[in-house]
Structure 1
């Protein structure tokens, strides 16, 4: 059987609004279930440019809440994470968060934007227990320029596990203290002639199932098109792929998935199990946010299938 994402008929669920900091683009939302609701931390861009010379928008993180997984019931008017002009690593803002619950704490890995290096991307992380108070802990793996990263929602042998992407492939590393990293290895490589021939990485942090870790991921081909895929990772060693669907679960087809700030992009940062469905939130062309679902039983049947 082949899994295919079911689009919500009222997509997109989140659009730019009149707030100055998010009136250009909103996309790429992390997702977590808290207090019976789905909390979304999304990437937002507005009128502010990085510098008069660098005509790229400053990025910030906004917060929205859905009570049914589909429709937005609450949306804050101010960003929860803003640019920090006194922190050179976050001078141009922050973007593309991913949320993983470990114990009673939600860990948020996000990308800080700076003028250092070739791209200026660095990983950082923050924590919260209530989505009201957030503690920022600084950079992760300062030595790498990278993005597309998130924690496994649980520890393996007492150690944290981080999915990350030294270009262009998906890697994983362990740490006991979130400072020192070890046992780094490649999980998946690009494949010539495929929809993930150019680069790839995790989408949402994986979801725990009786069969292993369910991972929704993304790939980009050499035409610039981004698509979404699915795989199943070993419960005890998430570096091992135990089931892999070669065909994508979603490719850009609808107008808002094909045209926007960047063309032909569907990209997920967040997925949750909510009731009897998996909700996969995906940014469209870096312009707006949409959601698709898969039935839990359908995914279980796919996991069991030989």
Structure 2
């Protein structure tokens, strides 16, 4: 497959879960039944490292929030864009705020590849407006604190007038031990953030990351989806926790999704992506990632979607909410997605979804490329839903598109 702006996903792998069809169905799409996804900005980064700024090495793994025009949001937009008039035609349809991991060139005496959170502002169709010249959330200055080594892989959710940022707090200790925990920060204006520390409850019993809050409570419960690092890598799965408050205490209910193994890889695992998109009636469209190890030790990450029906939520069986899953919607292909420049021991090809929003019927997926860039893609929401509705009504069972993936992913 060649590099181009519009990527039609043909013969990709689709995995469908449903109440009607038990287990896993894998589909091979054809040219008459294709789902089109468009890489934006000609496939080039919308945010990348600035050698003259604090984020001088890498920018990656963004989360996004769309602020439509309203009296309250207009005040937020004014605060973000102090030099722009709210009457500027550029702001007619509101703005999108993107929070990303920024990493400076290593500073002597500080940990290598130490992340902070940067902030940029765009129009909803991703025309650049402003990039803040400082991080809005930084790691602690205390070497023993929970996020001294980095504030990583943040996801943002708005609940009422409060913004909640869940992130991975990472610290290593002098004796070689380390902690990876789900942490939280809150804000009223998107610029000033108050850290609340590791989230309360039992979700951090294991090393944990890739956490996101649902924007609405379900049956009185606030919902967090997270990815405990329990067991071997192929056991790493998405779990669900509940609380009476967005700030906890959180009670883990168990796993809702684990990776489906493809024969190309020796290990695969999953983790949550961005805040799920509310389709109404307690149904959400959620993106997530699959990570994979090849026998060589190299890794591939691709992006997927799932439909989550919380009308079927059962605390004892949280997996019942997963209506269907569509795998490999987006996979690494371009120069900004393959052969990561990050100092990994083995090759990394990576698309890593952390942010999304809906605008004029399309889903804008904001994602990290190759652990080094912030990229964007667009797909039509109704096309995605329609494809899976058709597949749910089918009794056909097809094989994995193994030859296609092997041709695409196998690299020297």
TM-score by length of 1: 0.91
User: Which 10-residue stretch deviates more, 11-20 or 116-125?
Assistant: 116-125
Are 1:31 and 2:70 counterparts?
Answer: no
Deviations 1:123-144 (A, max 9, x none): 1111223213322211114433
Take 1:183 and 1:77, find their aligned partners in 2: how far apart are those partners?
38
Q: Secondary structure at the residue paired with 1:130?
A: coil
Do the aligned partners of residues 121 and 194 (structure 1) sit closer, same or farther apart at CA in structure 2, a change above 3 Å counting?
A: farther
**By percentage of residues, which structure has more helix?**
2
Take 2:36 and 2:183, find their aligned partners in 1: how far apart are those partners?
32
Counterpart of 2:339 in structure 1 is 259
Q: Within 5 Å, give how 1:75-224 maps onto structure 2.
A: 75-86=131-142, 88-116=145-173, 119-140=178-199, 141-167=203-229, 168-177=236-245, 178-193=247-262, 197-210=267-280, 212-223=283-294, 224=299
Q: CA deviation at 1:79?
A: 0.4
Take 1:118 and 1:3, find their aligned partners in 2: how far apart are those partners?
45
Q: Secondary structure at the residue paired with 2:274?
A: coil
Match of 1:241 among 306, 315, 322: 322
CA contact (8 A) 2:239 2:252 kept: no
Do the aligned partners of residues 151 and 296 (structure 1) sit closer, same or farther apart at CA in structure 2, a change above 3 Å counting?
A: same
Structure with the greater alpha carbon radius of gyration: 2
Q: CA deviation at 1:303?
A: 5.1
RMSD: 2.3
CA contact (8 A) 1:21 1:60 kept: no
**By percentage of residues, which structure has more strand?**
1
Q: CA deviation at 1:179?
A: 3.4
Q: Secondary structure at the residue paired with 2:106?
A: strand
Take 1:12 and 1:220, find their aligned partners in 2: how far apart are those partners?
22
Structure 1's unaligned 5+ residue stretches are none
User: Which 10-residue stretch deviates more, 278-287 or 142-151?
Assistant: 142-151
Are 1:299 and 2:384 counterparts?
Answer: yes
Match of 2:356 among 265, 268, 271: 271
Aligned length: 303
Counterpart of 2:128 in structure 1 is 72
Match of 1:22 among 52, 55, 59: 55
CA contact (8 A) 1:26 1:289 kept: yes
Q: Secondary structure at the residue paired with 1:221?
A: strand
Counterpart of 2:26 in structure 1 is none
Counterpart of 2:40 in structure 1 is 8
TM-score by length of 2: 0.68
CA contact (8 A) 1:49 1:58 kept: no
Deviations 1:226-253 (A, max 9, x none): 00011101133374111222x3101111
Take 2:218 and 2:108, find their aligned partners in 1: how far apart are those partners?
39
Take 2:108 and 2:274, find their aligned partners in 1: how far apart are those partners?
27
Take 2:284 and 2:169, find their aligned partners in 1: how far apart are those partners?
27
Q: Secondary structure at the residue paired with 2:54?
A: helix
Structure 2's unaligned 5+ residue stretches are 1-32, 68-72, 74-93, 230-235, 343-347, 393-412
